[in-house]
Structure 1
């Protein structure tokens, strides 16, 4: 009944509500959330010149709040419930003068707060620190951006002994978090909220255990909220590992093999890794010395888990007003109305928001490890 309202906050360090000249100039807002890597946003402002104050230049261009590295917080209000869609910084500014009076536009492009972790390349040492401890240390050094760490330890803890070795990484802090996460099929992302100025920094496996969101409905009459959707099955994605490793502790050559995905809970009734046998790709571990057999198994399992995450992909668009909410990425959602093979639960890999006056669309990408619904119904 109250509709949808968008709130814009800007500031060099502590964002405040946008000034009237900026708020009135907003034409459209686009936001994209991904479960891996940085998320981004784009704000299109209408720019004009009127009066003696604009003789020298467009007044909005002189506003320091639209310059690169200004912090931006975008919040959408559905009814009476606010949800933070983006907390990031402006990284790019594009100005188009236009050929008609009032037709000039200023486009502000930016990325989430994790872009601040990708500015400085360095060589870092982490004595006596496992991968999870390294992730905690890196995230903790960015507390000024409201990062709250959520670090899930991997199945095998690689605790280095200082007299034997010291982990050393070269690159940005964001590079390090991605590199150590890829060993186990882990992801790293920064999720804005739940309050403006706060951000959840997550390092761990894709989150599949949350309560499913409201269902995406396809071809179910007045309950339909999905405008279009298509499904893709990638038969070349499932991968198992069959290799040998020289155990660091015993110095013996031991086999390392994987057979199934350990992602929990399962989302598909017919996982590809089971129903495609024996037509499944086989891979080897990356050449690496100094691993125990447990560490090698953890990395091999990470390869298999990662490979089946996107066997089935669903891409589509929904009307946010008919959906009556915000589809959250990095979580689970139910889909109904597409038939048993495609219905059921999916992991929400990415969501793109397109907001303008009178319109709010959400484009989504869903993934899972196979086909078939595990449950007879989903949350409507």
Structure 2
């Protein structure tokens, strides 16, 4: 007799911690591990915190501190273990170790702070000029980011943006801060995940991640789900720039969101009948390149169009995967208006005694797609 799927035993999702240049699993730490929290985002550096109980052994040593696990800049990988397979959550480096020795010796603990691989690009200030007049070739922003990646042992995603070709382009800061600044000027996202750089505009295309299921009986994977829809968002924007060489004149360009719509209808178009258009006037600061100003303005309009925000608390054991920021994900069970694909903005991963949960912050620009 075969039991229904509802009676299947699901192996709880767990955690693996790998340390060192040649990653080795730190199994000795698991008995004293209290919790691990990881925060990753499509635009911010990923960070993590590991809390461990600290005990002194019969020789007077404190194994968590004295065992060499968390030496400065030790490479570390946090991995979600789903039994027959595993998925990476964060690759990074040990940045800070905080031991605590309270009056109650049984409450002694160690907290370890970690940052993802972006921190390796934030150690050394580089002074150089890209696309100097003496150079034979002119590099785009995408070429420059790829060159920096290769120099640091990092790959670049094939979907990266091209950016612009600025001649010359001066750098007098760390590679991380230089790329971050260029991303901000272009309206790009910049992140490093698992040895690979993404540097480009919001991308709502591609294959969505496994669908989240709300109120789906035994198939439910979402413990809690909430939505906030903001109506006060622009349907268009007007960018004013000065163009024309020696005698520049103001030029105004009308811009509308150009992202793929995650739904049947664009949310920003709803309710416009009978009302004056909801629009922005964008005036660039300083005297930027007109092409850069237009790219940044388009990115701002696109970002504003993602006016439906949601938060999902996910049981990772039931869901069975690590949710990735910067990609779309389906949501089912919340009705026609809001159902369908969302864009993953950020994810908080929590591993503790109760299991493994993920709190995903989601964005959407469309309605009536469920």
TM-score range, shorter chain: 0.7 to 0.9
Does residue 274 in structure 1 map to residue 269 in structure 2?
yes
Residue of structure 2 equivalent to 1:288:
287
4+ residue runs over 6 A deviation: none
In structure 1, the partner of 2:18 is 9
| Distance in 1 (alpha carbons) for counterparts of 2:189 and 2:356 | 29
Are 1:305 and 2:302 counterparts?
Answer: yes
Residue 326 of structure 1: which of 322, 325, 335 is its match? 322
- Residues 80/249 of structure 1: CA separation in 2 closer, same or farther (3 Å cut): farther
Q: How does 1:90-169 map to 2 (within 5 A)?
A: 90-127=94-131, 128-143=138-153, 147-150=154-157, 152=159, 154=161, 158-160=164-166, 165-169=167-171
Q: Secondary structure at the match of 1:64?
A: coil
Over 3 Å counting, the alpha-carbon distance change for 1:279 and 1:240 in structure 2 is closer
Contact between 1:258 and 1:304, CA under 8 Å: does it hold in 2? no
- The aligned residue for residue 25 of structure 1 is 32
Q: Distance in 1 between matches of 2:333 and 2:160?
A: 38
Greater shift, 89-98 or 252-261, is seen at: 252-261
Aligned-partner Cα distance in 1 for 2:149–2:114: 20
Are residues 66 and 112 of structure 1, via their aligned partners in 2, closer, same or farther at CA, if it must alter by over 3 Å?
A: same
Residue 213 of structure 1: aligned partner = 209
Contact map agreement 1:30 1:41 (CA 8 A) in 2: yes
Report the CA distance shift for 1:23/1:153 in structure 2 as closer, same or farther (over 3 A).
closer
Partner residue of 1:179? Answer: 181
For these two proteins, the number of residue pairs brought into alignment is 351
Do structure 1's residue 232 and structure 2's residue 228 form an aligned pair?
yes
Gaps of 5+ in 2: 1-9, 132-137
1:198-252: CA deviation from partner (whole Å, max 9, x where unpaired): x221111233222112222222333322111221223344474423333366965
- 2: CA distance, partners of 1:221 / 1:258: 48
| 230 and 257 in structure 1: CA distance in 2 versus 1, 3 angstrom threshold | same
Equivalent residue in structure 1 for 2:45, among 22, 38, 50: 38
> Which whole-Å CA distance do the structure 2 matches of 1:125 and 1:328 have between them?
35
Q: CA deviation at 1:152?
A: 4.7
Q: CA deviation at 1:362?
A: 0.9
CA separation in 1, counterparts of 2:324 and 2:165? 35
The CA deviation at 1:71 is 1.0
Report how far residue 186 of structure 1 moved: 1.1
**1:98 and 1:373 mapped to 2: Cα distance?**
56
Q: Classify 1:326/1:152 alpha carbon distance in 2 versus 1 (closer, same or farther; 3 Å).
A: closer
Is residue 336–residue 343 contact of structure 1 (8 Å, CA) maintained in 2? yes
Contact 1:238 / 1:272 at 8 angstroms: preserved in 2?
no
How far apart, in 2, do the equivalents of 1:351 and 1:41 lie? 12
Matches within 5 A, 1:319-358: 319-358=315-354
Tell me how far apart the structure 2 counterparts of residues 224 and 25 of structure 1 sit (CA, whole Å).
Answer: 32
1:76-108 CA-partner distances (Å, limit 9, x unpaired): 221322211111011111222244454321111
Question: What are the ranges of 5 or more consecutive residues in structure 1 without an aligned counterpart?
Answer: 193-198
- The CA distance in 2 between the partners of 1:283 and 1:341, in whole Å, is 31
Displacement after TM superposition at 1:188 (Å): 0.6
- Asked whether the 8 Å contact 2:189–2:200 carries over to 1, the reply is yes
1:153-181 per-residue CA deviation (whole Å, 9 max, x = no partner) reads 657x5334xxxx41113332112212212
